[in-house]
A and B are shown apart, each in its own frame.
Chain A
Amino acid sequence: MSLFLDVIETGFNRFLRFLIFVVAASIGLFAVLIPLNLLLIKTNLGAIWWLHEAVEYALYVGVFIGAPWVLQQGAHVRVDVFASALPRRAAVQLERLLDCFGVSLCGLLCFYGARAALWEFEDGTLPDKDLRIANWYMLAVFAGSFFLLAVEFLFRLRRARAIVDQDASDPVRASF
C-alpha cells in the first residue's frame, strides 16, 4: 500500500511540477510580449489587442494552477510562531490537524467551485471583455486547483513528521 502511495505521490508531484513550468513559461512570455506591444504602439504599427486580457487570464490561471506546487514546496507564507515553539511531538499533531483542516477547506472550495462552473456552463455566460473565454473554464480552473490542493494536503498528512523536521531546520519562507 505504502509503495503504491509512493508511486501515486511521485506522479502527482511530477504533474504539479509540469504545471509550475507552464506558469513560469507564461511569465517569460509576458516579459517578451508586453515590450513588443509597446514597441508596436510607439511605432504606430498597431497593437496586440488581446494582450492585456490574455495576460489577466494567464495570471489568474497561473496563480491557481501554481498554488498546489507552491504548497508542496512548503513555500506558502506561514506564520509559525506558535508551531515552532511546540515540542516535536505536539508540532507533528498540530501539522496533522492543520492538514485535515486543509483537506476539508479545499474540498469545500472545490465543491463550490465545481457548482459555480456547472451553473456558468449551463447558462453559457461570457465575461464583459474583448477576449471572451467562457466563465466556466475559469471556474473549472478554480475547482481543479482546490482539488489538487486537497490532494496535496492529504499527502502532507502522510509526511507530517518530515514536514515538521524540515520547518525546524529552515524557518524562512519565500517572500518579497
Chain B
Amino acid sequence: MPKTAAIALRLLALGIAPGLAAAQDVDFVRDVRPILQRRCESCHGAEKQKSGLRLDVKSEAFKGGDGDGPAIVPGDPASPILARVESEDESDRMPPSGGPLPAAEVATLRAWIERGATWPDGVDLARLEDRRDHWSFKPVRPPAVAIGDDAWSRGPIDRMILDRLTKEGLKPSPEADRTTWLRRVSFDLIGLPPTPEEVAAFVADAHPDAYERVVDRLLASPRYGERWAQHWLDVVRYADTHGFEVNTERPNAWPYRDYVVAAFNADTPYDRFVREQVVGDAMGKDAATGFLVTASVLLPGQIGADDVSKRLARQDAIDEIVVNVGQTFLGLSIGCARCHDHKFDPITARDYYAMQAFVAGVEYEDRPMQTPEALERRRSLAGLKAKAAELDRALARYEPPARPGRVRPKEPSPSINEDSFDPTEARFVRFTILDANLHPTLGLIEPCIDELEIYAEGPDARNLALAAAGAKVTASGSRTSGIHRLEHINDGRYGNSWSWMSDEPGRGTVTVELGGLARVNKVVWGRDRQGVFDDRLATAYTIEAGPSLDAMTTVVDAAPSRPAVDARGNSDRFAPVATRRVRFVVEATNNLEPCIDELEVFDASGVNVALATAGATARSSGDTTVFERHELRFINDGRYGNARSWMSSQVGAGWVEIDLGVERVVERVAWGRDRNGEYQDRLATAYRVEVQASDGSWATVADASDRRPSAAGARKPAGPTFSTAGLDDESARAVRAIQAERKALDGRIAAASREDLAFAGIFRKPDDIRLLNRGDPEQPKDPVAPAVPVALGSLALDARAGEQDRRRALAEWIASPDNPLTARVMVNRIWQGHFGTGLVETASDFGRMGTKPSHPELLDWLAAEFVRSGWAIKPMHRRIVLSATYRQSSRSDAEAAARDADARLLWRYPPRRLDAETIRDSMLAVAGRLDPKMGGPGYDLFDKRGGLSGFTPVESFKGDGLRRMIYAHKVRRERDAVFGAFDCPDAGQSTARRRESTTPIQALNLFNSRFTIDQAAALADVAAREAGEDVDARVRRAYRRVLTRDPTDVEAADAREVVARFGLATLARALLNCNEFLFTP
C-alpha cells in the first residue's frame, strides 16, 4: 500500500469513532459499508484487488479472493475476513498497516456476519464492469463503404481515412513523387532501397499500371519474405541460443526462421500459417512448430537438482508457450493470469492454466523433420546397410585365418630394427613388405622406409647397401615426391625427408643389388630414425638373400600378425568346422571384468547363427548383472554397445558359451567390447575361441597369440580396416576393391543417417496441469483441462485428450474466421509494417490495456477483407501500398502537426528511421556487397555462437557475413556491436513494434565502426568503377546508389571538394550516415 494511503487511514482511524452496539440491528449501508470503504477499499476496491479480492461490489465480495475461498461466509463467525482483522500476527492481520481495527468496528463486522451478512442489492457504490464488453472481443463488423465521389480516394481504405481527416478538419497531403514512393515501398516490402536502374525504369514507365507492376515485382522477390519474416521473428522472440545464464547455442533453430521466410514468400494463407506453427507436425511442416519453443529455456543441468527447481523451470517453460500464443496470435497478454486473475482483461487464472493444458506436452528439444527427403533417405538406408553387410561378408572371406598357439614375433619399431641371420652368400637382398600398421584416420596406407642397410660378416662391418658403395636398388613401385624417392633408401640419410615410399597400401618390395658378392648376416632398417613418424611402418615382411634373383633364400620371416584386439570389434576366421557349441574364453583384459557387447558366430554363408532369434542360447562362467545394461542375454541379442552387453563376474577372466541348438558348420567368430566406440576398458587382450566336437571335447580354433600386442593408449584407426597381409596379389587387389566400395558406401550411409533436426519441440504425454495458487508450483489446486478463455469462446477438451489433438483444437480455434482477434491482430501488424504504427498502436495488446484503434471501421473492414480473400497477406500489402493514403508525401505541415503531431490520422505519410536490419542490409546493398544467399545456419556476429560470457564482436565481415542480417546467428541478449544500438531486440521478451530511439552510441557506431568504413570503401570502389574517371560522375553515382537521386548543384560542389581532397570513401562514409539515407521517405 502506498505510504500516503496508510497515513490517511491512520488519520481516519483517529477521527472517526464507531457508533454501534452489538445489540442493535446491523444495517449494511449505515454500519458496514463505511467500514469496508474506509478500511478495505484502497486495496480491495475498484482500483486494486489485492489477492483478487474486491469488497465494494456485492457479488465479488462474497466470491472471495484468489484460491482462498469466500472471505465472508454468512452466519459463520469463523469467516476468513474476521479471522484476518482479528489476527494477533501482525504480518497476517488486515489492514496491513495502521494498526488493528478498533474493537467496535470488529464487533460490527462480526455482528453483521453472524446475523447472516445481509447485503441488499442495489446499494453498491461501485459497479462491476463487464470486462467482456470490449471492442476487440466482439465479432468483426465491416462497414459498408461508399466509394467514388471524391477525387482523392482510390479505394475503401482511402475513403475511410479521408472521412476521418475531414471530420477533424484535416486534409491529405499531396502525392509523393515516384522516386519517393518507390524508395518507400521498397524499404517496406523488401527492406532494401531500389537500385538506380529500378528508379530510372519506374520514372520512365508511362504505362497506367506502372505502380502495380512495381508492387508485383517486389512481392515476388525472395527479399520480401526475408523482410517480413523479421517482423514475425521479433514478435515470437526468435534466437539461435537458449538464453538464461549459460546461453548455449541452439544450433537447429534456423529451420524455423527459414520456414517463416518461405511461408511469407509463398504467401501461405495466414490461417494455415497459424495452424502450421501450432500443429505443423501433423501437416508435414515440422520446422513450423519452432514457434512453440522460441523462448529462453533452462536446459537440464542448469536447473536445480531439487524437485522444487524442476517444477518451477517446467512451469516457466510452459508459461512462455502460452504467452507466445496469446501475444502473437490473439494480441492478449494472457501470462499475467499465471499469478492472479488478470487485472484488466477478463482472463482468470483458471483460463490461463486451461491454456497451459493445450501445450503441456511440448518439450524444448530438437526434432527430426519428416520432410519427404528425410523419409526417402530413411527408406534408402535399409538398402544401403544390407549392401554394406554383404560387402563385409565378402571381405571376411579374405581375412587371414587365425593361427592359434603361435609364438609371438618381435614387433618392428618405427625407428630402428636389426634383423640378424646366418651369414649368407649374396649379391641380391630383397625386402618384401607384407603388411603395415594402420594410420589413425586413413587406415592402411603405403609403407615407408627411410634407410635399408645391409652388413657383411666381419669385425669392421660396412653398410654395403649404400649407393656410394656401388649398390643399386629397384622397387615394386614407388610414390615419388620431394621427400620420398627410391634413391633415398640407400643414400645414407635418415628421416622421413630422405625416405622411400611404396605405391601400394600395406605392401611393397625393395631389391638391392650389391656392388659385389658378399657374406651378409644383418639387415638394419627403419621407418623414421629421427623418431617423428610412426605411421607407414612395415609390420610384416620377409628378407631374402642370394647370389642371383633366381636363387634367393628367406633369411628373415617376420610373417604377418593379425591386428591387435580392438574394443570396437574383432574377427577370428578359422577352417570351417562342424560344431554345436562355441565358447569364448577370456584369459586377460586391459582392466577389470571383461565385457563383450555381442558374440557372433558365422556359418559359411555369412549368417550369424549365434543369435537368440536363430534359436541359440547362452551360458557363462558367471555374470556381473546390471539391469538393462549388462546381462547375459545381451551377448547374442543382435545389438551392439555397452548398454547391451555381457560382463563377466571375474576380474580379467570368464567365458561365455553359445549353444547353437543344432550342429552347424561355422568358420568365423566376431566379438567386440563396445562397437559404438565409447568404451575401451574391460577389453579381452588374451582369449581363445573354442568349438566343441561331437564327442564333447573342446578344440581351440583361434586365440590372441598371432595378434599384434594391443598398444595401450595408442591411437586407434578410425574404423575397422582390413589388412591384406599374407594375401596373394590378386586377393589383395580384390580386397582393396571391396574396401573402396565399402568406404564409398559408408559415406552414403552417413549421409542417409543424417537427420534434419529442427528445434521445433518434441511432443509427449501432457503434464497434468493444475491451477496453481499465486502461480506457485508448490501450491497446486484443482486439475484443469484444456479450454480457451471463457470470455473468448467455449472450446473445452476432455482432460484425457491426446497431445496433438490438444494443439490441433487450439490451432483451429485461433485460425477460425469467427475468432474476433486473429484477423484483426494480423491486419494491424501488416498496417504497422507500412505506416510504422498500427491502427491499434499496441500491436500485441488488443486487450483493455491496449490503445483503441484510430480507425475502428477500417480495421474491421481490413480484417473482413483478409478473411474473405482467404487470409492472403500479399494482396493486403497491395491494397495498402497502392492506396492514396500510402502515396502521400511525408512533408510535415505546421498546422496539421499542431492538431495531430504523430500523424495518427495519416494526413501525411509518417516517415521513420530504418530499423537495424534494414540499415545494415541497405549499406551492403548500396556498396554492391550484399550476398543474396538464403537460408541455412546463420553467420557469426561474434567470436562464438553461444556461451557464458565475453562475446567479442566480428569487426570486418566477408563471405557469409555479407548476407542479410536475418541470417545472422542471433545470440540472445547480445545485441550486434554496431546495429544493436538501433533498437534491435535482444530476443528476451516479444517485440511487437520496434522502438525508434536516438542515442549517441548509434552515432559512434555508425560513424566509426569498421563495418561502416569497409562499406564506405566498397561503395567508393563500385561508384568509381561504374562512373569512370570523372569526379562529378563518381559523386553522382554515389548519390544515386545511396539516395536514389542526383545531387543538387550545391551538394555536388560540396562533395566534389571533399572527394578531391580526401577521396570518394569520405563522401561515402557521410552518405551512409546521413539522415536522408536512414529514414523511410
| Chain A complexes with chain B | no
Binding site for A on B (CB under 8 A): none
